Structure 1
Amino acid sequence: MEEIKVYTLENKFLKVEFLNLGAIIKKIELKNKNGDVKNIVLGYEDVEKYRENSAYLGAVIGRTAGRIKDGILKIANIEYQLNKNNNGNTLHGGKKSISHRFWNVEKIENGLCFSIKSSHLDSGYPASIEIKVSYILNNNQLLIKYFATTDNLTYLNLTNHSYFNLSGNPNNSIYEDILKINSDYLIGIDKNSIPCKTINLNNNIFDFRESKILEEFFKANDEQKTLANNGIDHPYIFNEKIGKLEIKNLESRIKMSLETDNPAVVIYTANYLQDIGFKKHSAICFETQEAPNLYRDENINICPTFIDKNTNYEKYTKFIFTFK
């Protein structure tokens, strides 16, 4: 059995721990001006628990983030049957995805580079690919850079699945967090959480274009909220090419800003964490990515981007932490 190893990046603002399993972010510790240290992501103290990690705590997700209906991936009029692991659908790349495999790790300037190879028809996906994910610390910023090459036409949609609790206390809920996201449109889901329709956020409880405390959302009623087990588990479409959002916790006074060149972010409010021993709604995920299930809506300029041997995959997401 391969050994799970812990790697650490640290500067005067941040200390971040990673695992070679799943390229996982295990901890993100911040120091406030009083010298207090808070870990603001959920994780297991016992690294052996990450071998199961059914909730994908802190893991890199791929080859495809989110769900693919019936596990059928269609590329250039060819259908590929993917590994199905979620109510007859493919979730986060299938049962034995890169989230649960060991990665190679190299030191780079101010960071670490994780790399892994995936062969043709691995979990049903076409083409052989090599993926590199770099984590870089720059002062109070954690930058994630995704890069991949392929030997043939394929589809890739990577993200990181960290669960943020900005209070630093996993027993606290996220109800007191204040969220703002520059997004006019949400993609609605069906009963299996498959993206199925575009929703304009005007007069909608999912609208966070103006800063809003999450408690207001959780007190309101909506069919889409019910479908997500009384929370959010939806793709938001960014209004700009560089998508931005921010969230802050009133108790800790920690603010996290996010920036990405992905067109969407799946916001997930930990609606099932009680199933693995954590508290429901005790964290929030910001899974920056393309819209799941290769969702298309040309009216809002959303369509999947394929890669081949002449076009690499290259994306980034940046987290910026401040005390307010």
Structure 2
Amino acid sequence: MPKDTVVSQSKLTVCQEGAATLPDGRPVTRWTISSPEGVTAEVLDLGARLQALHAPDRHGRRANVVLGCEGVEDLLGEAAYLGATVGRYANRIADGLLPLDGTTHRLATQPDGHTLHGGPDGFATRLWDGVPVREGRRAGVRLRVHSPAGDQGFPGALTAEMTYLLDPAGALWIGYRATTDAPTVVNLANHAYFNLAGEGSGTVLDHLLRVEAPEYLPVDGELIPIGPIARVADTPFDLREAAVIGERVAFADPQIRRAGAGFDHNWVLGGNGFRRVAVLSHPGSGRRVECLTTEPGLQVYTGNHFDGSLTGRSGRPYHAYAGIALETQHFPDSPNRSEYPSTVLLPGEEFHSMTVYCFSAE
């Protein structure tokens, strides 16, 4: 379908077009945001999803560096989390039990008995309402979804809003806001998988990763945090200096094995406020992305469980380590861990969070 340019700002453009149709007949819209530096982001209103992001390498050659699928059946099923905004609660809540104000709420759970990314019918499979926006020198799309009280078992009616903005330098800004009419919990995150060599090109085992965090959360066999925060020193999780991902996930470490021969852990980030927390780079192409955030945690998942059953937009299947997710968020299972930063949101308050991915080539 033809694209309709709805925003043009300082050579930034935002176009929209029909992308697909849901089984119930509702249309899915794709928003394409382009910057003069050659970075282009494609966003679907289905799951408020970053479906693709094209970035140049050291020679100026552009490639899509985000995993994504095309078909609606995949996006509503096995590929639901690829690039999506996950919530109401990103990551895991143990046993689907949410204690709040003296009441334990029973949440909808996945087959393993825990609540993951807001439940089986979380925000990743919802159709969000989108409008083009511009803020200063940045332009993009703002998406909103309403979650009624009791949705997936969560108390309180929640209205969530997230905004994708590109700036003229090609940095992708992702902002979140949420309000509620009754006490609840909220933890929103983007679940994009990066492969800086190009989507469908192979694994990220040759990428370099740095995470500026002195601590992380060890997990049990079901990837629920055991409890106490642990130091990264003298473990494969010490990424305070950039390390080759493939070398780290090859360690004979119980925590690496529990996650399926890779990372699926939350790093406890150092510092406060808006700061740089991670750098991912690919020596072969020269592509580099810096992650900055206001959040206290970073869930790093190295795509350990991709098994070839999903085929990306490149037409190639995704096997283990096809991409790496750098999910800025609060900690998993925080509602059951009083020592973790609180995720409680009260009426009259506003949840807000900001994450930026800055792309470059060297």
Name the TM tier (shorter chain): over 0.9
> Bigger shift: 57-66 or 207-216?
207-216
Q: CA deviation at 1:303?
A: 2.3
* Matched-pair contact (CA < 8 Å) for 1:4–1:48: no
User: 1:118 aligned to 140, 144, 147, which one?
Assistant: 147
**How much is the aligned-residue C-alpha RMSD, in angstroms?**
1.5
Partner SS for 1:131: strand
Alignment of 1:147-166 (within 5 A): 147-166=177-196
User: 1:270 aligned to 287, 292, 303, which one?
Assistant: 303
Give CA deviations for 1:284-324 in whole Å, capped at 9, x if unaligned.
Answer: 001111001116474xxx32231111211000110000001
Partner SS for 1:70: helix
- In structure 2, the residue matched to 1:9 is 33
- In structure 1, the residue matched to 2:120 is 95
Q: Quick one: which amino acid aligns to residue 209 of structure 2?
A: L
Alignment of 1:223-302 (within 5 A): 223-241=254-272, 242-243=274-275, 244-274=277-307, 276-277=309-310, 278-294=318-334, 296=337, 298=339, 302=340
Q: CA deviation at 1:53?
A: 3.8
Partner SS for 1:287: strand
Q: Quick one: which amino acid aligns to residue 317 of structure 1?
A: T
Q: Does 1:318 align with 2:337?
A: no
C-alpha distance in 2, partners of 1:108/1:240?
A: 31
- In structure 2, the residue matched to 1:72 is 97
C-alpha distance in 2, partners of 1:47/1:5?
A: 12
Q: CA deviation at 1:33?
A: 5.7
Give CA deviations for 1:58-110 in whole Å, capped at 9, x if unaligned.
Answer: 00000001111110011122110000114111111111111101000011000
* Matched-pair contact (CA < 8 Å) for 2:300–2:327: yes
Partner SS for 1:310: coil
* Matched-pair contact (CA < 8 Å) for 1:166–1:254: yes
C-alpha distance in 2, partners of 1:143/1:177?
A: 23
User: What is the identity percentage for the equivalent residue pairs of Structure 1 and Structure 2?
Assistant: 28
Q: CA deviation at 1:169?
A: 4.3
Q: CA deviation at 1:144?
A: 0.3
> Bigger shift: 162-171 or 270-279?
270-279
C-alpha distance in 1, partners of 2:297/2:156?
A: 25
Counterparts in 2 of 1:132 and 1:323: CA distance versus 1, 3 Å? same
C-alpha distance in 1, partners of 2:74/2:341?
A: 37
Q: Quick one: which amino acid aligns to residue 164 of structure 1?
A: F
User: 1:208 aligned to 231, 239, 243, which one?
Assistant: 239
Give CA deviations for 1:36-62 in whole Å, capped at 9, x if unaligned.
Answer: 111000111335531224451000000
Alignment of 1:137-148 (within 5 A): 137-138=166-167, 139-148=169-178
> What TM-score, normalized by structure 1, do the two folds share?
0.95
* Matched-pair contact (CA < 8 Å) for 1:55–1:273: no
> What TM-score, normalized by structure 2, do the two folds share?
0.86
| Unaligned stretches of 5+ residues in structure 2 | 1-23, 311-317
- In structure 1, the residue matched to 2:6 is none
* Matched-pair contact (CA < 8 Å) for 1:225–1:232: yes
Give CA deviations for 1:244-274 in whole Å, capped at 9, x if unaligned.
Answer: 1101001111000000000001100001111
Q: Quick one: which amino acid aligns to residue 274 of structure 1?
A: D
* Matched-pair contact (CA < 8 Å) for 1:148–1:314: yes
* Matched-pair contact (CA < 8 Å) for 2:293–2:354: yes
> Bigger shift: 173-182 or 272-281?
272-281
> Bigger shift: 137-146 or 38-47?
38-47
